């Protein structure tokens, strides 16, 4: 490459030495050449190969480089050598040498600062820096000359800023030695050196990328020092100043200067982190403001970043640095922190530390792994290592053996070996532990050197002797030292009884006495006493300890060769151990780890300084630092840290204690406002602190203006509010003076804590005029902040993103609740702001607004339920304003936003105990409905829920007001109800039903039911029918949004709630409501049923009609299974009786469409037939007869069969009643004499007990008699119904149907016979009736009527259907019944034969005359016997002849028995004469 340079003698420059230092032309020429050589690389040139040799002195060092660059590199090396020349002891004050050192360092700084991109990526140049320049820095670091120290720092800045990616290990080692050493010296630092370091830190901290790279490559590297953390901690210690009681060489002014500069550096660090984050996330000036949260920060960018702090070779040589994401850095950082935690725990309790590290998988489980850890890990306390190795437990013992076995003593003499052995730990003080360790050492030494001693015992004893000699020779506490002769005498005979060679022992003695055996940890003892042991932890204290950092005169005396050699060895060991990869990141998440490492000390420094110092510059820097910290932690979602920083700023506003306010407190308030406007999207829960400050500021502002406090309005009725507002408009000047005397001002003057919601109001704490004057002057400071700036925060809420606005509203509601709940000074500042915020953000997208309103809704409910009535009324009125505003927006169909908006009204209406609040809610909702009815959609649900709650209110005015509004809605705005969701009409129905339960106005109850009928009329008029063909017909009702009309299927959802609501009212406890509900329900079905399809009728029956009778079914079942059930509830019976009548009429009218429901309708009716009560059963029978009468012509054969079978089943079911009566009376004894219990009061206690039992028996018997009478009456009613059914509908009946009827009446007759055969039961009834003076059950009449009707039916069938009779064998059935009747009569006369032999017996029997009771029974049965005689006499001759064998014995017995009258005998005479006689004559 051709580069033109001025003519310079390169030989002169190469020969630059002390003698030419005063030659300015040579120096200027050198500077010019440096500029040309270092910047000439800007000309395009082929890059050098990557595999250039690392040795700078090799023959190939210039390969691939131009001549001028080779000369420049040579000059660089010579300057490094020149800078490493030091004064000799003979001439320590050589000024020429010092000036030459300064000049060479100046030129080296120029070389570093002017290096172009070529040099920054050139391997040979980097190797020259590592080999020569760092050696120069190391040798000159011990000098105390400020000019040299400043140059060293300047050179180091250049290396850090421009070459850090290639010098990772060297920077990691020199930074603590050169910078942190001075920074961390708080008590006795050199003022100039520390100021130089602080300026240096300020300069590098202004470069954001440098700070990030330091943290990533050192604080996240396990083997590297925590440079960033130590920088912060050092600055914090300096900022906090010299600890109290400590001795220091600093003056007060110097300490104050350090504190200011340290705080400034900390603020610069936070600002740089903030700038880097904003650039990476494109926040603020780097891109337009985005509403998105930093959730996308995990997506790493691939660029290396820019700015002055970016290392150039990161861009030019991508192979050197390595991109790393936050997850891997987090793992490395966590690993390092956990490892350090384990090391710290080991240094306190070794066993627990090892257990922790093994559990956390930082070291392996084997003894060898633990031994390697103890041997190679820096930061371990050597004393604790020795204690652990000396433990007698099994595992530590194995670790000690592994530790010793890992050492190689081969070829070492004994003294050298023991010295090498004890470098890694300190021997414990316990003799047994030393014994175990030395025993293993002796064994290992003999194994490595088998010819050294005859046995390991020799080495063991000699090792003890050496330890004792070392302590004796080098301990200041030992006065009488051990001589060589003593040492040799002590070791006689230790080699299996023999002496070791005297020369050997003599040499060993001299070696120990001349050079103490020192553990490596001894040199760091001083450092361990310091609070910060991080240098020890990272193994740097050994290096630092070799350099003499003490203050001295400005002499060119450097470190000696031995020290340099030792440090170079340390460097090499450290470089081999550390990572060689330099990482760069672009993921802003790394800032989370940085803040986690430094936030606590930073906050302490800023807070303490801000609190203790009134210096304007310091306060400004602290507030800046806190402000930037809030920005970082907010964007990084570090909630705890963000809240801590923001709380610190909020406390420093001193708004809670305005009497102590200063200018820095006002500046803190300005910072709060700035945070609210600029970082609002990231504050989340921290908004509460910001808004609390704003609330307090506004309160103080009002106090300063003399405006009456909110509490003066919130503790009086709102009616007086307007009057007070009018009065407050006059006399402002005098009011400000008077207002300062009110309790609120007094409380503000007293002040309180930041966390207190109420200022101190203790009467004992008096406020002096001086305090008030000071308070007023402090309030004047707040004039710097206008109320407009305060309001800007709330108007700015429109720009917040979706998550931020929700968090903002939550915090505002929380602060407002705190204001309102104040017992002495309730305020409405935040409440009014909530209304404003809602207005500002009401036009946000629905999803966001829904989240906002969920928070506001809960707030309004909570405030609306407060005990402070004025506050509750105020918030409800505010909610009304919002609702009116919100209802201006039109809502699309099937959305639920309006309903959610009105939910607070509903909840407060339901839970509030204040009638004033409830009445206000009713009025507010009424106003909203009447003024915004066109826009209400889903809001109808909330409206009707409010009115439904009002219907049950215990305040009459609220009920009447609500009903008046509902009445108007139903009359005038019914189409708006049906055009919205289907559930809206359901809510309307439920609301009207609720009004039927009102306790104040019975007319309103019935009017509500009437309005339900009106709703049905409206539904029908608007075409809400359910005919099958209505889907294709257009509807008159059109949705307000222009959508298609409601389809047929949706009509069900309107009719069903209406009908179900009426059905619900049928179970009301009031008879008028029940009757009205049943009537309206079936009237609606009757009047509008023609609109309904068959499927819809099915739905109506399933959901409305059938549930009406579900209680009847269950109660019927219960009655049949309970032995002693009380009388049915007449209210329920009345309702169901009316319902079943209406049901039958409805079914007859709409039979064509209701036909599929025939089976279940009949089932309902027959359940009434089953009832054990005469009235219910009679209603069921009559309903069944009416049903059959109404639809008989349309019933099919199968339908007839189903009806009759269900009728038959119900009839059979009624027979169980008599069985229960029999069981009931089984254990009842009827007394011979009975008197009511009231007439036996004069009896004794024993007699009273007996009378009570008789009373119970008689009550049971009386109940059983009534039940039996009702039972028989029911069955007779059924019998009559069967006859009527046959007579009126026989033309529709088939043989099967007639058979069912015959079976039914036959079963009843048989049952009647069973009843009459229970003689014991009948005797009890007879006896009881005579005692109770009541009529006996007409059992005989019941039996006669049953059989008589049975015969009539058989005769009718025989007469009407001859052919059918022949198929059904009716004649045989008639004769069978006749025979049964005759036998019953004979049994009554006690003449029934038991078998045929009885008739043939010729024995003479004595006939006993019948009693009066029997004669009465025979008289009752005579008519039935005469009917049988008539039937037999009317039989044809062949038929009579065929049946005569069956009946002749019975006729003979009739002749023999006694009769009550002669009618039976006369009938017998006719049969024998007309039928039997002719047969005998033949």
Rounded to 5 degrees, what are φ and ψ at 582?
-100, 120
Q: Which helix (H) or strand (E) holds 321?
A: strand 321-323
Joined together, the tokens standing for residue 1122 give 């309970």
Contact 1189, 1229 (CB under 8 A): no
CA dihedral 278, 283, 287, 293 (to 10 degrees): 140
Give the pair of three-digit tokens for residue 1461: 């009258």
β-pairing, 582-584 vs 321-323, is parallel
3-state DSSP assignment of residue 584: strand
Tokens, residue 1230: 């009827």
> Are the C-beta atoms of residues 1421 and 1384 closer than 8 Å to each other?
yes
Report the C-alpha gap between 1086 and 1073 in whole angstroms: 20
- For residue 215, what are its two tokens? 């943290």
Q: By 3-state DSSP, what share of the chain in percent is helix, strand and coil, each rounded to 5?
A: 70, 0, 30
632: tokens are 């970082």
Residue 208 neighbours by CB under 8 Å, 6+ apart? 272, 273, 275, 276, 279, 307, 309
The alpha helices in 578-638, defined as continuous H runs, are 590-612, 616-635
Catalytic residue numbers, as ranges: 430
Instruction: State the Cα angle at 788 between 785 and 792, rounded to 5°.
Output: 110
Handedness of CA 485, 488, 490, 492 (dihedral sign): negative
Residue environment code for 186-198, b if the CB has 16+ CB neighbours within 10 A, otherwise e: beebbeebbbbbb
Partner residues linked to 321 by β-bridges: 582
Q: What is the C-alpha to C-alpha distance for residues 1035 and 1091, in angstroms, rounded to an integer?
A: 14
Phi-psi region of 981 (alpha: psi -120 to 50; beta: other; left: phi over 0): beta
SS (H, E, C) 1253-1284: HHHHHHHHHHHHHHHHHHHHHHHHHHHHHHHH
| Residue among 492, 500, 494, 545 at smallest CA distance from 520 | 545
Decide: 626 and 669 in contact? Cβ < 8 Å.
Answer: no
Q: What own/partner pairs with CB < 8 Å and gap ≥ 24 does 1123-1126 have? A: 1123/1220, 1123/1223, 1123/1224, 1124/1224, 1124/1260, 1124/1263
Task: Please calculate the CA angle 126-107-182 and round it to the nearest 5 degrees.
Answer: 75
- Count the Cβ atoms, other than its own, within 10 Å of residue 596: 16
DSSP, collapsed to helix, strand or coil, labels residue 942 as helix
At a CB cut-off of 8 Å and minimum separation 6, what does 306 contact?
none
How many Å apart are CA 1093 and CA 892, to the nearest integer?
A: 31
* Residue reference for tokens 């200063």: 662
Helix (H) or strand (E) holding 1308: helix 1295-1317
Rounded to an integer, what distance in angstroms lies between the CA atom of residue 486 and that of residue 1367? Answer: 148
Rounded to 10 degrees, the C-alpha dihedral 123/129/130/136 comes to 170
| Token output for 1234 | 């009975």
How many helices, marked H, and strands, marked E, lie in the chain? Answer: 73, 2
Q: What is the DSSP string of 816-861?
A: HHHHHT-SS----HHHHHHHHHHHHHTTS-HHHHHHHHHHHHHHHH
């Amino acid at each position: 490459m051709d580069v033109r340079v001025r003519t310079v003698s390169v030989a002169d420059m190469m020969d630059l030495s002390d003698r030419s230092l005063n030659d300015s032309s040579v120096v200027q020429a050198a500077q010019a050449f440096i500029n040309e050589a270092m910047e000439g690389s800007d000309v395009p040139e082929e890059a050098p190969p990557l595999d250039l040799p690392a040795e700078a002195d090799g023959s190939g060092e210039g390969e691939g480089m131009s001549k001028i660059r080779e000369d420049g590199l040579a000059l660089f090396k010579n300057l490094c050598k020149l800078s490493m020349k030091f004064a000799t002891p003979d001439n320590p004050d050589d000024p020429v040498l010092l000036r030459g050192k300064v000049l060479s360092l100046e030129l080296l700084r120029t070389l570093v600062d002017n290096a172009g991109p070529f040099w920054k990526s050139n391997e040979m140049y980097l190797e020259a820096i590592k080999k020569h320049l760092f050696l120069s820095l190391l040798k000159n670091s011990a000098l105390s000359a400020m000019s040299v120290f400043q140059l060293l720092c300047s050179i180091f800045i250049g290396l850090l800023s421009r070459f850090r990616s290639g010098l990772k290990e060297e920077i990691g080692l020199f930074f603590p030695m050169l910078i942190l050493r001075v920074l961390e010296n708080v008590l006795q630092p050199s003022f100039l050196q520390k100021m130089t370091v602080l300026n240096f830190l300020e300069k590098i901290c202004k470069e954001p990328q440098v700070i990030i790279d330091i943290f990533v490559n050192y604080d996240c590297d396990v083997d590297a020092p925590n440079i960033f953390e130590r920088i912060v901690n050092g600055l914090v210690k300096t900022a906090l100043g010299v600890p109290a009681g400590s001795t220091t060489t600093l003056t007060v002014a110097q300490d104050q200067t350090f504190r200011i500069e340290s705080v400034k550096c900390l603020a610069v660090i936070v600002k740089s982190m903030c700038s880097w984050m904003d650039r990476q996330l494109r926040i603020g000036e780097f891109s337009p403001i985005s509403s998105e949260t930093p959730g996308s920060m995990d997506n790493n960018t691939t660029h290396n970043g820019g700015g002055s702090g970016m290392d150039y070779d990161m861009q030019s040589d991508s192979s050197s640095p390595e991109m790393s994401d936050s997850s891997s850095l987090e793992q490395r950082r966590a690993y390092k922190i956990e490892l350090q935690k384990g090391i710290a725990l080991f240094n306190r309790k070794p066993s627990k530390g090892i257990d922790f590290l093994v559990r956390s998988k930082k070291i392996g489980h084997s003894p060898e792994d633990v031994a390697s850890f103890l041997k190679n890990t820096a930061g371990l306390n050597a004393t604790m290592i020795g204690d652990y190795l000396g433990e007698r437990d099994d595992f530590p013992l194995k670790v000690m053996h592994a530790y010793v076995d890992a050492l190689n003593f081969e070829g070492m003499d004994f003294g050298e070996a023991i010295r090498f052995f004890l470098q890694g730990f300190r021997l414990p003080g316990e003799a047994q532990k030393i014994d175990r360790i030395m025993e293993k050492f002796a064994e290992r030494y003999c194994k490595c050197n088998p010819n050294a001693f005859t046995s390991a015992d020799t080495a063991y004893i000699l090792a003890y002797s050496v330890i004792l000699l070392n302590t004796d020779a080098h301990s200041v506490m030992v006065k009488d030292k051990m001589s060589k002769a003593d040492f040799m005498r002590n070791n006689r005979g230790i080699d299996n009884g023999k002496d070791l060679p005297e020369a050997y022992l003599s040499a060993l003695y001299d070696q120990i006495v001349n050079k103490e055996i020192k553990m490596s940890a001894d040199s760091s003892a001083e450092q361990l006493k310091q609070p910060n042991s991080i240098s020890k932890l990272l193994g740097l204290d050994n290096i630092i300890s070799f350099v003499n950092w003490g203050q001295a005169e400005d002499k060119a005396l450097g470190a000696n060769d031995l020290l340099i050699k030792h440090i170079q060895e340390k460097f090499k060991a450290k470089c081999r151990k550390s990572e060689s990869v330099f990482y760069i990141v672009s993921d802003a998440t790394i800032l989370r780890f940085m803040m986690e490492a430094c936030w606590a000390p930073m906050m302490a420094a800023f807070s303490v300084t801000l609190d203790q110092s009134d210096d304007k510059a310091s306060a400004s820097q602290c507030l800046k630092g806190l402000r930037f910290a809030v920005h970082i932690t907010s964007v990084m979602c570090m909630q705890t840290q963000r809240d801590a920083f923001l709380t610190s700023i909020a406390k420093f506003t001193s708004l809670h204690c305005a009497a102590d306010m200063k200018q820095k407190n006002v500046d803190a308030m300005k910072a709060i406002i700035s945070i609210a406007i600029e970082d609002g999207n990231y504050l989340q829960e921290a908004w509460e602190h910001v808004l609390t400050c704003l609330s307090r500021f506004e309160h103080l502002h009002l106090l300063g203006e003399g405006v009456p406090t909110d509490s003066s309005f919130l503790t009086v009725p709102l009616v007086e509010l307007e009057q007070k507002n009018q009065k407050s408009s006059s006399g402002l000047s005098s009011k400000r003076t008077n207002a300062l005397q009110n309790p609120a001002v007094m409380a503000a003057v007293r002040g309180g804590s930041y966390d207190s919601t109420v200022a101190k109001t203790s009467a004992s704490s008096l406020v002096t005029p001086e305090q008030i004057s000071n308070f007023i002057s402090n309030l004047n400071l707040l004039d710097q902040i206008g109320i407009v700036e305060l309001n800007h925060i709330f108007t700015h809420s429109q720009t917040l993103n979706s998550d931020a606005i929700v968090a903002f509203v939550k915090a505002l509601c929380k602060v407002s609740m705190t204001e309102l709940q104040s017992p002495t000074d309730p305020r409405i500042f935040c409440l009014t702001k909530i209304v404003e915020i809602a207005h500002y953000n009401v036009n946000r997208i629905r999803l966001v607004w829904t989240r906002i309103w969920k928070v506001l809704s809960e707030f309004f409910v909570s405030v609306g339920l407060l005990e402070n009535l004025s506050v509750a009324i105020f918030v409800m009125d505010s909610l009304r304003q919002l609702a009116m505003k919100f209802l201006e927006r039109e809502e699309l169909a099937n959305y639920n936003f309006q309903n959610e908006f009105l939910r607070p009204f509903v909840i407060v209406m339901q839970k509030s105990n204040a009638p004033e609040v409830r009445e206000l809610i009713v009025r507010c909702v009424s106003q909203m409905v009447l003024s915004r009815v066109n826009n209400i959609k889903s809001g109808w649900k909330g409206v009707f829920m409010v009115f439904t709650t009002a219907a049950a209110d215990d305040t009459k005015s609220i009920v009447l007001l609500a009903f008046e509004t509902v009445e108007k809605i139903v009359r005038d705005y019914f189409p708006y109800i049906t055009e919205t969701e289907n559930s809206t009409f359901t809510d309307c129905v439920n609301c009207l039903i609720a009004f039927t339960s009102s306790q104040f106005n019975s007319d309103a109850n019935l009017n509500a039911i009437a309005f339900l009928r009106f709703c049905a009329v409206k539904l029908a008029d608007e075409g809400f029918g359910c005919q099958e063909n209505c889907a294709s017909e257009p509807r008159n009702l059109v949705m307000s949004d222009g959508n298609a009309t409601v389809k047929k299927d949706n009509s069900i959802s309107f009719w069903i709630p209406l009908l179900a609501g009426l059905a619900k009212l049928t179970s009301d406890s009031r008879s008028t409501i029940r009757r009205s509900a049943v009537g309206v329900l079936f009237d609606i079905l009757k009047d509008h049923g023609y609109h309904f399809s068959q499927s819809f009728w099915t739905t109506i029956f399933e959901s409305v009609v059938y549930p009406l009778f579900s209680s009847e079914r269950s109660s019927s079942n219960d009655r049949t299974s309970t032995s002693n059930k009380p009388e049915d509830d007449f209210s329920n019976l009345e309702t169901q009786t009316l319902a079943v009548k209406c049901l039958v009429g409805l079914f007859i009218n709409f039979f064509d469409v209701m036909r599929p429901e025939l089976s279940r309708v009949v089932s309902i009716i027959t359940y009434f037939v089953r009832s054990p009560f005469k009235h219910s059963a009679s209603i069921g029978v009559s309903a069944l007869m009416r049903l059959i009468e109404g639809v008989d012509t349309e019933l099919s054969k199968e339908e007839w069969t189903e009806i009759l079978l269900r009728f038959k089943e119900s009839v059979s079911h009624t027979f169980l009643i008599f069985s229960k009566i029999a069981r009931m009376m089984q254990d009842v004894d009827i007394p011979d004499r009975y008197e009511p219990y009231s007439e036996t009061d004069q009896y004794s206690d024993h007699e009273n007990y007996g009378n009570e039992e008789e009373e119970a028996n008689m009550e049971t018997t009386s109940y059983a008699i009534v039940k039996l009478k009702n039972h028989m009456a029911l069955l007779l009613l059924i019998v009559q119904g069967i006859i009527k059914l046959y007579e009126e509908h026989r033309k529709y009946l088939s043989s099967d149907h007639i058979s069912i009827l015959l079976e039914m009446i036959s079963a009843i007759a048989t049952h009647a016979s069973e009843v009459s055969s229970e003689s014991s039961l009948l005797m009890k009834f007879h006896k009881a009736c005579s005692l109770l003076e009541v009529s006996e059950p007409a059992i005989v009449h019941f039996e006669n009527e049953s059989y008589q009707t049975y015969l009539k039916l058989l005769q009718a069938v025989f007469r009407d259907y001859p052919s059918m009779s022949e198929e059904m064998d009716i004649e045989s059935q008639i004769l069978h019944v006749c025979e049964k009747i005759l036998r019953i009569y004979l049994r009554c006369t006690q003449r029934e034969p038991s078998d045929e032999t009885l008739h043939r017996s010729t024995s003479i029997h004595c006939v006993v005359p019948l009693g009066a009771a029997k004669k009465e029974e025979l008289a009752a049965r005579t008519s039935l016997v005469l009917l049988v005689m008539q039937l037999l006499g009317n039989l044809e001759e062949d038929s009579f002849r065929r049946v005569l064998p069956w009946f002749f014995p019975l006729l003979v017995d009739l002749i023999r028995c006694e009769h009550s009258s002669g009618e039976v005998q006369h009938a017998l005479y006719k049969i024998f004469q007309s039928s039997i006689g002719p047969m005998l004559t033949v």
